[in-house]
Amino acid sequence: MNERDYDVVVVGSGAGGGTVAQALAPMVADGLRVALFEKGPRLRDDEFTGREIEMASALYEDGGGFLTADGTLTLALGSAYGGSTVVYTGTSLTAPERVIRGWGVPGLDHADVVARSRRYADENNVHLLPDDEINDNNRLFVEGCRGAGYAAEQFPINVKGCLGSSLCNLGCPNAAKQGTNRVQLPRAEALGVEVVTRAEVLRVEERALVVRVHDEPQGAKGLPSEWAPGDYRVRARIVVLAAGAVGTPALLLRSALPGLPARVGEGFTCHPAHILVAEHAREITNDVGHPKSYYLDRAEDEGFILETCMYFPFTTAKNLVGFGEAHSRFMNAFRRLQMILVLACDHATPGNRVAIDRDGRAVVHYRFTPDVVRSLVRATRASARIFFAAGAVRVHAPSADPPCLEVSDAARIDERVSERHFLPGRTSVSAAHPMGGCGMGRDAGDSVTDAWGRVHGLPWLRIADASLFPDSLEINPYLSIMALADRVAEAVRAEATR
């Protein structure tokens, strides 16, 4: 086995790992060695084609369809240089004060999280799009919210030179989205941090990683790894794990480190979501322009968030309930479709957790609680009202049977859309906000790490990703992940330079 030595190693290159790498990079000039390992490939700019099928397999774990153990929920997990920041829509919100307070983590202050989030928002060019760049799909959401008695809010997003391709979830083909692949990682590498792609971390040992570097598969997108293919033992004084809320707990569980807190894998949440579509009588601009410019926050009052969205034909088709003529009618109306993504604010629940199978691969156990089903149904009812208020003639509602609501149903939405029609496995549900699994807290009895990401009982081991969240964040998480990762990096800097 090849041997390497570093002062600090980081696993994962997304919002957490990219942030840590950049924050530690100035230490390289002082003689410290820092390396980051990313399982996915590094794509050239011309390989971001925006083609749905080829980009899904190139940028996502399991092509974007990582299934939970019972097959009722798919998770979208980015796997590339930049992690999930390559495939999200750039929406950039700061954590609600009530959520951070509710977590009750000693030493974690909301004002500190906000201050750090704002610094990364500035760094990543977060701003509101001007009115002339808002497409019909988003305008209709605002108008529909107003007509239904709600007040939509605009998402700040992190783009620079956006051309409105609407392909954010397939990796921006115009290099406009400011993920870690565009901002933090290049800066870290310029200062001397070594980034190794196609590098799968098999396990964590005492102050060391066992890494397998893979060859480039024939015909696959992406550059070859920076290291020769093979197995490596990489020793380091400090190890930082940022492989995501599924990857980090699974890596720890298969490593079976002596003294590892028993709660690793517990507390998994993900904002389960599904896509609702509505048909208008005229064509609208939906698949050009930024896809996600507005949202409606009902998390505190009703346990859900609504977000504008525009998904691609394959993704849309698989999210529509049913088959045959009714399904075909919606798909044939693609250029007249308005879309809303409904997200339930789930909470950490016993049994919903990350585990591993006999081969050490991640397995996510997730059951929809009655509260989650209730939130999804409330969200669907609210969305149907918004669609009809915006002028839609027909709404596809998975929690209705049959799932098509006509204008004549507008007065009886509560009757048509019901929890009794939500059938796991029949209703397509997905999630792109995996959280928890290595939650922060007071001690090993209630958590995995302290407020600075240090694993209880293993002071050389740190966590710096969304697995730190003790419970659901109830908003889009990437800025909060960066803020927590920045705290981890601050603590690592202090320790590494002693």
Residue-wise pLDDT for 217-229, tens only, equals 998 999 999 999 9
Q: Provide the b/e sequence for 94-117 (b: ≥16 CB within 10 Å).
A: bbbeebbeebebeebebebbbebb
Predicted confidence band at 426 (pLDDT cuts at 50, 70, 90)?
Answer: confident
Residue-wise pLDDT for 363-409, tens only, equals 999 999 999 999 999 999 999 999 999 999 999 999 998 899 999 99
Q: What is the pLDDT of residue 419?
A: 94
Predicted confidence band at 244 (pLDDT cuts at 50, 70, 90)?
Answer: very high
194, two tokens: 């070594």
Gap between the Cα atoms of 203 and 251, Å rounded: 6
Residue-wise pLDDT for 67-104, tens only, equals 999 999 999 999 999 999 999 989 999 999 999 999 99
Instruction: List, in sequence order, every beta strand (DSSP E) within 214-319.
Output: 230-241, 273-279, 294-298, 304-308
Task: Give me the amino acid identity at 340.
Answer: I
347 C-beta neighbours (distance < 10 Å), count: 17
Cα–Cα distances (Å) from 179 to 13, 90, 184, 343, 384, in that order, read: 10, 8, 8, 23, 33
314 C-beta neighbours (distance < 10 Å), count: 12
Residue-wise pLDDT for 157-200, tens only, equals 999 998 988 888 899 999 999 999 999 999 999 999 999 999 99
Longest dimension (CA), the chain: 71
3-state percent helix, strand, coil for the chain, nearest multiple of 5 = 35, 20, 45
pLDDT tops 80 at residue 497: no
Q: For residue 319, what are the contacts with CB-CB under 8 A and spacing of at least 6? A: 274, 275, 311, 428, 430
Cα–chain center distance at 373:
21
